[in-house]
Amino acid sequence: MRRLLPVTDMTATETAAGPAAEGGREWSFDELADAYAYPEGDGVWLRANMVSSLDGAGQHDGRSQPLSSDTDMRIFGTLRGLADVIVVGAETVRLEGYRPARAREVFAARRAAAGQGEAPVIAVVSASLDLDFSLPLFTSPLVPTLILTGAAAPADRVAAAREAGAEVLVAGDGAGVEPARAVAVLAARGLRRQLTEGGPRLLGQFVAAGVLDELCLTVSPTMTAGGAQRIAGGPSVAVPTRFQVASVLEQDGFLFTRYRRI
């Protein structure tokens, strides 16, 4: 792994740690966790982690895995290891076969020191609650899975979710969730280090609501052509939201970028 930005007096060392053509040595989970630490303090912070092809595709054949790499998955795991809660849209849960978050030994001490439970909570955003509640995500997570929905959610589906062991939280007055309210509802439960893993329709709403603080974007050195979704969808914002680059890492041609909202 090479750090391209910010350039520090460590950059040369990190680059020299292995042949540049091979991208240097692999970073440990501890080093990755330091690099991706949430801001100090007790404020709420919503970061997204997404991968995109060079031509802007956020998925291929309905999944993001064809765009990913081993290092991307290490960073994916690290961001989970740092988070209190993972917020995800129902379609991503359905298409990607979401499983409960694991307790990982590599992050155990760090999580304990930060006052976090052994694994992050998964919060699924859904209006229909058309989810398979017999899946391990709902029946056997380490910490009960949350479902964020609107006040008008179908009562039978709410009952089915609760019966399976999920906790249903209302974060909208109508059928759907209001993105800023979702952030606030989670924060009120002490879940302030927030991570969203999309999908694009959900991420677009966080962007439009002005509540996305940070984007961890993996630029995958691939092109897919076709009509795949971009990483953020839905109605566009009136004025493009500006972000500034916080860091760029590189491994095997993949760029692991991190941007913060200005």
The site for ligand NAP (CB under 6 A) is made up of: 50-51, 58-59, 62-64, 89-92, 95-96, 125-128, 130, 176-177, 197-202, 205, 229, 231, 233
Token couple for 187: 């924060």
Residue 108 parent element (H or E): helix 105-113
Nearest to 93 by CA among 145, 57, 142: 145
Nearer to ligand NAP, 127 or 191 (CB): 127
Q: Which is nearer to ligand NAP, 68 or 247 (CB)?
A: 68
Nearer to ligand NAP, 24 or 207 (CB): 207
CA dist 123 to 99, 190, 252, Å? 12, 14, 32
What is the smallest separation between the CB atom of 252 and ligand NAP, expressed in angstroms? 18
Q: Which helix H or strand E contains 13, and what residues bound it?
A: helix 11-16
Judged by CB, which is closer to ligand NAP: 111, or 146? 146
Cβ distance 247 to 257 under 8 Å?
A: yes
Report the nearest approach of ligand NAP to the CB of residue 261 (Å).
Answer: 18
In the bound complex, what is the minimum distance in angstroms from residue 76's beta carbon to ligand NAP? 9
Task: State yes or no: cis peptide before 227, omega within 30 of 0.
Answer: no
In the complex, what is the shortest distance from the CB of residue 15 to ligand NAP, in angstroms, rounded to a whole number? 27
CB closer to ligand NAP, 71 vs 116? 71
Report in angstroms how near the CB of residue 205 gets to ligand NAP at its nearest. 5
Number of Cβ within a 10 Å radius of residue 139:
13
